[in-house]
Amino acid sequence: MEWATSTTVRATIVQASTVLFDTPATLDKAERLLAEAAGNGSQLVVFPEAFVGGYLRGSTCGTAIAYQAPKGREEFRKYHASAISVPGPEVDRLAGMAGKYKVHLVMGAIEKDGYTLYCTVLFFDPEGRYMGKHRKLMPTSAERIVWGFGDGSTLPVFDTPIGKLGAVICWENKMPLLRTAMYAKGIEIYCAPTSDDLDSCPSNMVHIATEGGCFVLAAVQFLKRKDYPPPPEYVFANEQDLTPDSVVQRGGSIIVSPSGAVLAGPNYEGEALISADLDLKEIPRAKLGFDVVGHYSRPDIFSLTVRDQPASIVAFTSSAPAAVITDGTKTGSSQKY
């Protein structure tokens, strides 16, 4: 695909279900959807939060205060097994997909780092390269049972041929200071992979678009009861009222312009590819009256400090381990013993 010289970008958000606890099948599905979107001319494709690895809607992983049930421990083991390492073979495959179909790909995934899981967004370019990631800073409510907290080192905004691209996940979008940090990085295409299907979500996305003077693309999964394992392995609170085709996450994906105009969605009808043409000239038009980190910022009154270095619980002061003891003295290190 040849890149257009115009300032218009064809973008698609994917509203679809993951294949829970089956990452290879999820990746196969992702490729089918990506191929369809690329076939329709899309240059940017955004998948929902936790698409690879899955979102455990309705689950407690058998956990209550000071108690973890064996069934919940086993559910977490399966969830960890379906998560992906970054880098890793699944990341390589996603990069290959982006290169094959010549699109910018934004993918929600569950990342494992040791035995801690993170709700992560991965970025890939049309050359088939992994660009980087954003880890969710603040898991919402019971998500904290299964997900760790990201830090300020994964708040990227990538300067790409289609615009400055970044992502904020689900209810992170309600964090004003996080949004401000993204605006300060110059974000133009603001991706919002989410599991929020509440009535308030579309209005929140309209607010962010007008606040930031950016395009907002909110991609939401659409899930039915049959997309989860059957009881007794997985039981919803109102299980007795559900049929296999009962909707348990209704979507609501939406694309909004910097002026607040809804370009596509919200869609509550089922799995779908939702597309719109983003005219990047709309960004400076919107900034004329309101630039939240520019002429409207008042830095003489307000300021924000973002700690964007990796945080680690362990720091080793030696640059290399000590050599094997040969004569009663440890050598090869500046450490004192």
Confidence of residue 6 (pLDDT cuts 50, 70, 90): low
What's residue 334's pLDDT? Answer: 41
Q: In whole angstroms, what is the distance from residue 313 CA to residue 300 CA?
A: 36
C-alpha distances in Å from residue 293, one per residue of 84, 174, 185, 212:
36, 18, 9, 8
Catalytic residue among 29, 112, 133, 136: 136
Element (H, E) at 93: helix 89-101
pTM of the entire structure?
Answer: 0.90
Task: Quote the tokens at residue 185.
Answer: 């990085």
Per-residue pLDDT tens over the stretch 11-46: 999 999 999 999 999 999 999 999 999 999 999 999
The CATH number corresponding to 8-287 among 1.10.260.40, 3.60.110.10, 3.40.1350.10, 3.40.50.620 equals: 3.60.110.10
Least confident piece of the model among 154-158, 223-227, 276-280? 223-227
Q: Is 170 a catalytic residue?
A: yes
Task: Quote the tokens at residue 217.
Answer: 């693309």
Catalytic residue among 49, 111, 172, 188: 49
Q: Is 211 a catalytic residue?
A: no
Is the dihedral angle over the CA atoms 254, 93, 139, 184 positive or is it negative?
A: negative
Element (H, E) at 74: helix 70-82
Where residue 192 falls (left for φ over 0; alpha for ψ -120 to 50; beta otherwise) is beta
Q: Is 136 a catalytic residue?
A: yes
Per-residue pLDDT tens over the stretch 111-156: 999 999 999 999 999 999 999 999 999 999 989 999 999 999 999 9
What's residue 328's pLDDT? Answer: 46
What's residue 336's pLDDT? Answer: 39
Q: Which residues fall within 8 angstroms of residue 292, CB to CB, at 6 or more apart?
A: 180, 183, 211, 212, 213
Nearest to 97, CA basis, from 202, 27, 6: 27
